[in-house]
């Protein structure tokens, strides 16, 4: 009997392990996130929950593999274009939003980029044909901006927001000895919509200086120097955009004299994480800033926020009234769900052709994506969305809000659910059930903004059931 009981227990587990191993074998070359997801399922104590966990991994993976057609709002690691890379750092730029879908035309004149520099690295001077909002995701360093006869340097650290005006020459160093510098960049092109370019003056062969695009005679006249001397300067550098530097070089760069900012508004870094969070509980914290609080953002019509969602917790469904959010995962893993309105294309086409104004039912489809470090998810204005953190690690999501002026965010669950403001008669008519039943549902969640996620809620319910059984004498 004991042997049969053991076999009965082991057989389903063996099937689960076999299915998991097959999944791992098929995904090891193509999807490391899928492999990692399935590996974590083995830590789930309940057998049924382990099965559900593996199925979720398969479902999310198939969603993402069909991704571009069915989910134009998600951008994974393969969506980045590598602009520059050496052993000491890299610069990657996300593909244009409108290439994915016409639904993203509203943000196509914005680009996202990620810059990473290894410890003790110099990042070459350059300028961009775009306004930049820079957020320091990790590390410390020094950033220097040049303007005519002035040079302005700032020490930067995690949580800092900085603005780099279009056309301004900028360079930086990671002076840490053991920590990488990671920076997220929002770029707003000023020349060609959606198109950005990086220009190097102080450079050589790699990166190439644009000086060598001019003829020798023009350069000789401009610098009043023979080409033989110019060539030694403009064709020497071959180390790339990221260069390893010594302690003495770091000291010299850090101690150089700096002048005051030449423009009206301050360009001092603004640290988002040093502000009190707008929402905070055991399930997460939200830090956010708009142009009203931060001079750097005043005329850009952009806001910046970062949500730190505790493991197995979630951010309540919510939507923004005017702002489209470009959400980038800084650290951690989880998934994002969004409701998208969907009308029958056939019916819409028929109405457009005939001019008919008949009823057109709105249907909603779920857009769901598993996200991890570097993933980007676009949440258009008016679209309700929720974010859930995976087990064992927090999910940190950085958001750049586009067209943020007069924007409001409305939460759709929890103690601050905007639907609680409906009067009782409206609740009954809207949901088609008595108002008391509606209020019972709307008031059941005691938390605001951040709350237990699906997995944590199931665990808490199971603990509650066990307590009931215990006290009932079972």
> Which pLDDT does position 23 carry in this prediction?
45
Which residue in the block uniquely carries the two structure tokens 């006290």? 471
Burial of 221 (0-12, 13-18, 19+ CB in 10 A): exposed
> Which pLDDT does position 14 carry in this prediction?
46
Please state whether the peptide bond connecting residue 238 to the residue before it is cis, i.e. omega within 30 degrees of 0: no
Q: Which residues pair with residue 181 across a beta bridge?
A: 117
Handedness of CA 352, 354, 355, 357 (dihedral sign): negative
Please give the DSSP secondary-structure letter assigned to residue 129: S
- Closest by alpha carbon to 117, among 161, 187, 173, 59? 173
Q: What percent of the chain has pLDDT over 90?
A: 64
pTM beyond 0.85: the answer is no
> Which pLDDT does position 44 carry in this prediction?
52
3 state DSSP class of 239: coil
172 in Cβ contact with 143 (< 8 Å): yes
> Which pLDDT does position 353 carry in this prediction?
56
What residues of the chain score a pLDDT lower than 50? 1-20, 22-30, 59-69, 344, 346-347
> Which pLDDT does position 43 carry in this prediction?
52
> Which pLDDT does position 260 carry in this prediction?
60
Q: What phi and psi values does residue 451 have, to the nearest 5 degrees?
A: -155, 170
Q: What phi and psi values does residue 412 have, to the nearest 5 degrees?
A: -115, 10
314 in Cβ contact with 385 (< 8 Å): no
Q: How far apart are CA 256 and CA 254, in angstroms?
A: 6
> Which pLDDT does position 203 carry in this prediction?
92
Cα 78 to chain centroid, rounded? 15
> Which pLDDT does position 165 carry in this prediction?
93
């Amino acid at each position: 009997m004991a042997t049969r009981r053991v076999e009965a227990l082991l057989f389903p587990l063996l099937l689960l392990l076999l299915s998991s191993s097959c999944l791992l074998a098929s995904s090891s070359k193509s999807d490391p996130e899928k492999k990692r997801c399935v590996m974590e399922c083995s830590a789930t104590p309940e057998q049924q929950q382990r099965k559900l966990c593996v199925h979720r991994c398969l479902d999310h993976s198939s969603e993402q593999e069909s991704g571009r057609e069915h989910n134009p709002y998600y951008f994974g690691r393969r969506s980045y274009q590598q602009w520059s890379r050496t052993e000491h750092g890299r610069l990657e730029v996300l593909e244009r939003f409108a290439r994915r879908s016409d639904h993203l035309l509203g943000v196509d004149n914005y680009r996202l980029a990620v810059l990473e520099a290894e410890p003790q690295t110099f990042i070459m001077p350059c300028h961009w044909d775009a306004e930049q909002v820079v957020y320091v995701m990790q590390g410390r360093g020094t950033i220097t901006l040049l303007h005519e006869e002035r040079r302005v340097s700032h020490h930067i650290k995690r949580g800092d927001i900085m603005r780099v005006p279009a056309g301004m020459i900028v360079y930086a160093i990671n002076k840490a000895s053991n920590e990488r510098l990671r920076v997220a960049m929002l770029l707003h092109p000023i020349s060609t919509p959606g198109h950005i370019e990086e220009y190097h003056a102080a450079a050589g062969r790699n990166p190439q200086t644009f000086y060598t695009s001019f003829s020798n005679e023009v350069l000789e006249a401009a610098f009043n120097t023979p080409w033989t001397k110019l060539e030694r300067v403009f064709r020497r550098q071959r180390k790339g955009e990221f260069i390893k530097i010594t302690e003495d070089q770091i000291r010299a760069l850090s101690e150089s004299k700096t002048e005051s900012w030449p423009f009206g508004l301050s360009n001092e870094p603004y640290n988002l994480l040093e502000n009190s969070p707008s929402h905070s509980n055991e399930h997460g914290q939200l830090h956010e800033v708009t142009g009203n609080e931060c001079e750097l953002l005043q005329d850009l019509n952009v806001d910046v926020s970062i949500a730190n969602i505790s493991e197995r917790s979630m951010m309540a469904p919510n939507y923004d009234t005017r702002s489209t959010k470009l959400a980038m995962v800084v650290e951690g893993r989880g998934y994002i769900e969004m409701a998208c309105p969907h009308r029958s294309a056939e019916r819409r086409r028929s109405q457009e052709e005939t001019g008919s104004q008949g009823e057109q039912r709105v249907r909603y489809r779920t857009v769901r994506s598993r996200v991890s470090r570097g993933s980007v998810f676009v949440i258009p204005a008016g679209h309700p969305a929720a974010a859930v953190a995976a087990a064992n690690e927090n999910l940190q999501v950085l958001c750049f809000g586009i067209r943020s002026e007069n924007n409001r965010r409305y939460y759709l669950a929890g103690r601050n659910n905007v639907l609680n403001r409906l009067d009782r008669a409206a609740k009954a008519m809207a949901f088609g059930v008595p108002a008391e039943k509606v209020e019972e549902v709307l008031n059941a969640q005691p938390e605001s903004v951040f709350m237990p996620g699906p997995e944590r809620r199931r665990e808490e319910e199971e603990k509650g059931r066990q307590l009931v059984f215990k006290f009932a004498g079972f």
